[in-house]
Amino acid sequence: MTDQDTTLDNLIDYFIENEDNDNKVVTLSDKDIQIRQLAKSKMRDNIVTQIKNEVKDDIIKDYEEKNKKSKFESVILLIIETVILAFLIGLLTNQATDLINSLKGATVNIKYTWVSIGIIFVLLIFAIFLSIFKQVKDLYYYFEGDR
């Protein structure tokens, strides 16, 4: 029995022992010990049930709010990652187009095109790595939370 259970039992004992007060919290037909024990048990069960229902509703509400916020943040991060990856892929495609044009005989500074392709490719690999790392981290925390 925990301290909270003892405190609740003490409160119930107090109300039952002081049944003759003006509030008439518990009305018993006689002073029989069995009736008192039954009344104490019934009161305790009612109080515990009411508290559990109130706490359960609060916990569910808090969970739903946090879950909604978490989903929103995940969607925003996914959109940002997608835009960055799409931008880098677009830049890489433009540089590849310059390479194709230079093969066709167009005047393009091929040296800067290769440097641009290298830099964009490194940034693209880095962005993909960060995205994968974030997903692995999220999965780790998801499965770690189940324990």
What kind and span of H or E run contains 129?
helix 110-145
The phi-psi region of residue 109 (left if phi > 0; otherwise alpha if psi is between -120 and 50; otherwise beta) is beta
Total-model pTM: 0.51
Beta strands in the chain (DSSP E): none
pLDDT tens digit at each of 147 positions of the chain: 555 566 767 777 777 666 555 555 545 445 556 667 777 788 888 888 888 888 888 888 888 888 888 888 888 888 988 898 899 899 888 888 888 888 887 777 788 888 888 898 899 899 889 888 888 888 888 788 654
